[in-house]
Amino acid sequence: MTAPTFDDFVRTRTPGLLRVAYLLTGEQHAAEDLVQSALERTAGRWRHLVRNDSADGYVRTVMYRLQVDRWRRRAKFAEQVTAAVPDGAGPDPYGAADTRLALRAALARLTPRQRAVLVLRFFEDLGEARTAEVLGCSAGTVKSQTALALRRLREGAPELADLVGNGVGA
């Protein structure tokens, strides 16, 4: 069987990676930058990764770690990219849109690491051990960060209480 090319990999994986990156960053351009950076690093190790069939895991791990490493980049770039003005939207007849906006705003108040933990646990459905592996930390850290992140979600967006639950992770 022919080994996949890097171009093929980029084309097939980009949509999924962008969705995760969007959750991690909350912003389209920042998400594109994050995915691009992770793919660039993957390109540098492509032959090795293909041999070991580990490109998928590698690019995701790099993406999460780059995002959690955000404080360095924040020091380099004083401005934060945003595509949306900070004004809030008015009431929306459709509950899903309200929830989405509330979740986006609540996620923005979390640290990059807390955000990454939530995305890994509740979007990618990874267990604590696997989440710890991706982030390069201990399972205990994942547990404590998850609890802290959920608490901050509840505090920052009471309207999400039904989603987040009251006693979970506290």
Sign of the dihedral through C-alpha 102, 113, 34, 130 = negative
Q: Which of residues 55-84 bind other proteins (CB under 8 A)?
A: 62, 65-66, 68-72, 75-76, 78
Q: Does residue 105 belong to the site contacting other proteins (CB under 8 A)? A: no
**CA–CA gap between residue 97 and residue 105 (Å, rounded):** 12
The helix (run of H) or strand (run of E) holding residue 18 is helix 6-25
What burial letters (b/e) apply to 72-99, b meaning 16+ CB within 10 Å?
eeeeeeeeeeeeeeeeeeeeeeeeeeeb
Site string for other proteins, 110-149 (x = CB under 8 A): -xxx-----x--xx-x---------xxxx--x--------
Site residues, other proteins (CB under 8 A): 7, 10-11, 14-15, 18-23, 28, 31-32, 35-37, 39-41, 43-45, 62, 65-66, 68-72, 75-76, 78, 96, 99-100, 103-104, 107, 111-113, 119, 122-123, 125, 135-138, 141, 160, 162-165, 168
